[in-house]
Amino acid sequence: MRARLILSLALSLAGLSGCVPTFDDNLPLIDKPTLLAIQAEPAEAAPGKQVQLNALIGTPDLNAAPPALRWGLCVARKPLTELGPVNTVCIQAPSAAEKDIIDLGSGATVTATLPMDACRLFGPSLPEPMNGEPAGRPVDPDPTGGFYQPVSSTLVDSSVTSMGSVRIFCPPSGLDQEQAAAFNASYRNNQSPSIDQLSARTAAGETLPIPAEPESLPVAANEVLQLQASWQPCPRTPVCGDGVCGAREDKSNCADDCTAPKGCTGAEDYAWFNPDARSVETRHESVRVSWFSTAGHFESAVTGRDEAEYDQSTTEDAWTAPSTAGDARIWAVIRDSRGGQSFRSFLVTVR
Amino acid sequence: MTSRDTSAFFPIPKYYDGQARVRYQPEKKTFVELGGMISSDDVSRTVGNADPAYRKEENRHLSFQRIYLRYETDTADGGKVSAMPWIGWDRSTLTGRFGGTPTVLEVDSHDYGFRASYRGRVAPFLTAEVGFDLEASTHSARRVGSVTAPPREGDARAFGQPPSDQINLDTWQAADGSAAPYVEGDFSLFEDKLHIIPGLRLEPQFTSVSKRVPTEGVFAPQGVFTADTALEPRLAVHYALSSRVTLKAAAGQYRQAAQPQDLSASFGNPSLQSSRATHLLFGGAFELNKNISLETTVFHNSSDDLVARNPSSSPLIAQALVNGGEGRSYGAQFLLRHQLAHGFFGWVAYTMLRSERKDPGTDYWRLFDYDQTHVLTALASYDLGRGFDVGVRGRYASGYPRTPVVGSYFDARTATYQPVLGDKNSIRIPAFLELDVRVAKRFKFQSSSLEIYLDVQNVTNRKNPEEIAYNADYTERRYVEGLPILPVLGIKWEF
């Protein structure tokens, strides 16, 4: 019998961390007209319903008029060979073929009607059979069980197209009667989140009030502000009269909250069909805030709370003021994991 | 990989492997061997981020075990009989999360096989082998996540691109097997100068999958069974043109059953058929002088029915994958070898290759994801005497093809940028070039030997690009680079 013992000692003269590149990105810096968010109101709607689409465009010139926008509703299904979120023809809007893009017109705000077959195009319903073949594969939901109608928004001057979406209310497939009843009783359409309060804390710990425009927040050059965005804590147990039309509440048992259904503007609870356990469960939205400014820089482009942190209703980011004096605008865009979004902004004056 | 995670990348690998065998030889020309192999690899990595959408974790596990019993005996007529039953277990898991998008792919397999053969001289000019290959496997699989994650060969994508957040779930069982009798002859002609080796393999094969279509509601799943039989002819010819020149040629047909992870009704296609390939090669071996020899091979492989993504924007249910891909590769290999003489040993191997694929729904050939036009390896070792050895190894290889990012767009729902991709696999990672040097000193003792060596990899400290990485909005690109100069001091004690 032969045996071999090998002892080795490795010495590296160079650090292995040099193998991966780093980039000096400053995505939050708005140095050209940039689309920052597309808000749909309502945030979730059934096929055939109208939604209002609002764009938030950041411009480096604080006094500039908002640039012209051209909108389109993309109705092209995404093939499985496409790894991105939409069919690539959607990005070619507005020059894409009419069969792929429905023109929604121009302006900062437009109204769109969701296609009647939106749940067949982008949802769990079987698509229309093609060429005499059986019906094709339905679209898979996102992790929240949602389906989305793609929306294109093109800055006319620069021809830069961004994609947004509207959450389509499509009942999940594969549920038995009992599960469908439980889901329908619990599920409430998404409500766009909103930033309840923005605050700024200095390095000395002083909390500064954020003034409403046209007033601005005075800051020193190179000063670091800890910006905090907070949103409404959502009720975890539905109680009639809490202002939120929650699970198992409806017009018949809670007219106050459900006559004109209202959702919570924070991290909402929502019903979700778990295809693994085959049961209807309650989940919580995650909330993210994207930060932008016309000057200075943020520590992180996006901060937020994931689903497990649903009981936290604030997030913070550090913003360093530029070294030169002048006015700047800061935007905060809040998004929930069901596709809802809204935004706020304020002015700062660097001295 | 974007700027958000390049500074926080913590892979934690754990692995082990081992093998053992026991041989019992009851008589001189007969033995029975019991052997086994075991291997396991685990890698975990976690990337934290202030943005929940960019928090990532990934855990990969790959393990297998094999046990075999091998019997071999030489018969009185000069033949050889061998038989080997074996059994094995494989487990492969990938679990991860990219933001809120989960990815799970678990496959557990039990493998069984039996191979028996007899090889003997049928006539003075003919040696024949007849045998039987039996293989069967059962698989239990579970997958959660996007159809497009993990990506497949041929997917147009940018490194670090977030997976689609459209997710599905499936659990399924599959069984496959084949029972292939085969025969091979070796005709030795013209005083053993010419060998003609025809072979024929008859391979009935079956695949059974527990779900024909994704489960809907409370309906019990319906399975699917596919079977086919293929006749696979093979031919090899060797001809010794002289004592210093030998020519060879070979052709054969092969096929490969669909992988169990592709048989999901939600993520793949339970009715996938086997992929087929035809291999052709021609070459020669030339003894240039007493110490130097040259081997060359020219080859051409073509394959069809390759498993690929369904290109339709409205694919049929349970047809996310189809047998629609085609492949071809051709090239030449050269091996120039200097055998050990006067303390010097070395070789140069060079492969020139082009490997292409044609995806379903397209009418053009594109580069295969792993195509490398040039691969060159040169190695030389010299015995300096007094137990000192010095060795040098040089390697050059063309970079793998990649799909260029020609633009990007902002996805306002996820607040991420998405790449706009150009022609598939139309650019390459820059070439890899590395020089390694090794110096060793051996000490011989009465019953053992000790070697102390210094192995310096990438002695020129070249920054070899290994992947193309983009920044968060895909407006800049840089390279993920390989290891810098890496000296390894080692001790090897053999007893």
Structural domains of chain A sorted by starting position, each given as residue range(s) with its CATH number in brackets: 26-173 (2.60.40.10), 176-351 (2.60.40.10)
Mean pLDDT of the A70-94 span: 91
Do the strands A160-168 and A44-45 form a parallel or antiparallel pair, or are they unpaired? parallel
Which residues are B101's β-sheet partners?
B98
Backbone phi and psi for residue B345, each to the nearest 5 degrees, phi listed first: -145, 140
Mean pLDDT over all residues of chain A?
Answer: 90
Q: Taking the model in full, what pTM does it have?
A: 0.89
Report the candidate in A191, A174, A182, A156 with the shortest Cα–Cα distance to residue A55: A156
Q: List the domains of chain B with CATH numbers.
A: 12-371 (2.40.170.20)
Q: Count of CB contacts below 8 A, A vs B?
A: 249
Give the per-residue pLDDT at A248: 83
Nearest Cβ partner of B218 from A84, A127, A176?
Answer: A176
Please report which confidence band the pLDDT of residue A14 belongs to, taking 50, 70 and 90 as the band edges.
Answer: very low
CA distance linking residue A314 with residue A318, whole number of Å: 14
CA distance linking residue B330 with residue B279, whole number of Å: 10
Residue B291 in 3-state DSSP?
Answer: coil
CA distance linking residue A119 with residue A161, whole number of Å: 25
Give the per-residue pLDDT at A3: 46
Nearest CA in chain A to B359: A81
Nearest Cβ partner of A21 from B6, B50, B52?
Answer: B6
- Residue type present at position B51: D
Please report which confidence band the pLDDT of residue A6 belongs to, taking 50, 70 and 90 as the band edges.
Answer: low
Which residues are B439's β-sheet partners?
B390, B454
Tell me if the bond preceding A79 is cis, omega within 30° of 0. Answer: no
Element (H, E) at B350: strand B344-358
Interface test with B, best of A24, A39, A54, A140 (most B CBs within 10 A): A140
The CA distance from A254 to the nearest CA of chain B, in Å, is 32
CB-CB contact of B180 with B200 (8 Å): no
Both structure tokens of A289: 């805030």
Please determine, for residue A335, whether its predicted confidence score (pLDDT) is greater than 70.
yes
Name residues 123-142 of chain B within 8 A of A (Cβ).
Answer: none
Q: Which residues, 6 or more positions from B490, have their beta carbon under 8 angstroms from its beta carbon?
A: A6, A7, A8, A9, A10, B452, B453, B454, B455
Q: What is the pLDDT along chain B (495 residues), one digit of tens a residue?
A: 334 444 344 466 788 999 999 999 999 999 999 999 999 999 888 877 778 777 788 899 999 999 999 999 999 889 999 999 999 999 999 998 888 788 999 999 999 999 999 999 999 999 999 999 999 999 999 999 999 888 999 999 998 888 889 999 999 999 999 999 999 999 999 999 999 999 999 999 999 999 998 876 666 788 999 999 999 999 999 999 999 999 999 999 999 999 999 999 999 999 999 999 999 999 999 999 999 999 999 999 999 999 999 998 889 999 999 999 999 999 999 999 999 999 999 999 999 999 999 999 999 999 999 999 999 999 999 999 999 999 999 999 999 999 999 999 999 999 999 999 999 999 999 999 999 999 999 999 888 888 899 999 999 999 999 999 999 899 999 998 988 898 888 888 877
CA distance linking residue B380 with residue B345, whole number of Å: 6
Give the per-residue pLDDT at B218: 60
Q: Are B314 and A130 within 8 A, CB to CB? A: yes
B319 part of contact set with chain A, CB < 8 Å: yes
Nearest Cβ partner of A85 from B310, B318, B411?
Answer: B411
Give the per-residue pLDDT at B7: 39
Interface test with B, best of A2, A77, A80, A160 (most B CBs within 10 A): A80
Residue A121 in 3-state DSSP?
Answer: helix
B217 part of contact set with chain A, CB < 8 Å: yes
Name residues 95-124 of chain B within 8 A of A (Cβ).
Answer: 100-102
Q: Are A77 and B482 within 8 A, CB to CB? A: no
Q: Are B491 and A306 within 8 A, CB to CB? A: no
CA distance linking residue B108 with residue B69, whole number of Å: 23
CA atoms within 13 A on the CB side of A115: 23
- Residue type present at position B114: F
CA distance linking residue B6 with residue B477, whole number of Å: 13
CB-CB contact of A320 with A222 (8 Å): yes
Q: Are A143 and B102 within 8 A, CB to CB? A: yes
Give the range among A101-110, A327-336, B481-490 with minimum mean pLDDT: B481-490
Nearest Cβ partner of B100 from A38, A127, A143?
Answer: A143
The CA distance from B132 to the nearest CA of chain A, in Å, is 34
CA distance linking residue A339 with residue A335, whole number of Å: 7
Q: Are B493 and A5 within 8 A, CB to CB? A: yes
Nearest CA in chain B to A148: B413
Q: Are B146 and A317 within 8 A, CB to CB? A: no
Q: Are A140 and B146 within 8 A, CB to CB? A: yes
Beta strand residue intervals within B28-166, DSSP E: 30-47, 56-74, 80-98, 101-123, 126-146
Nearest CA in chain B to A43: B413
Q: Are B413 and A337 within 8 A, CB to CB? A: no
Q: Are B215 and A333 within 8 A, CB to CB? A: no
Question: Any idea what DSSP says for residue A308?
Answer: G
Both structure tokens of A186: 């619990």
The CA distance from B444 to the nearest CA of chain A, in Å, is 14
Nearest CA in chain A to B52: A306
Q: Are B411 and A162 within 8 A, CB to CB? A: yes
- Condensed to tens digits (0 to 9), the pLDDT of residues A267-323 reads 999 999 998 888 999 999 999 999 999 999 999 999 999 999 999 999 999 999 999
Do the strands B245-256 and B224-240 form a parallel or antiparallel pair, or are they unpaired? antiparallel
CA distances to A186, B363, B437, B460, B485 from B455, rounded to whole Å, are 66, 49, 6, 13, 10
Q: Are A164 and B156 within 8 A, CB to CB? A: no
Q: Which residues, 6 or more positions from A56, have their beta carbon under 8 angstroms from its beta carbon?
A: A35, A36, A37, A38, A39, A331, A333, A343
Q: Are A300 and B412 within 8 A, CB to CB? A: no
Q: Are B485 and A13 within 8 A, CB to CB? A: yes
Residue-wise DSSP of B69-85: EEEEEE-TTS-EEEEEE
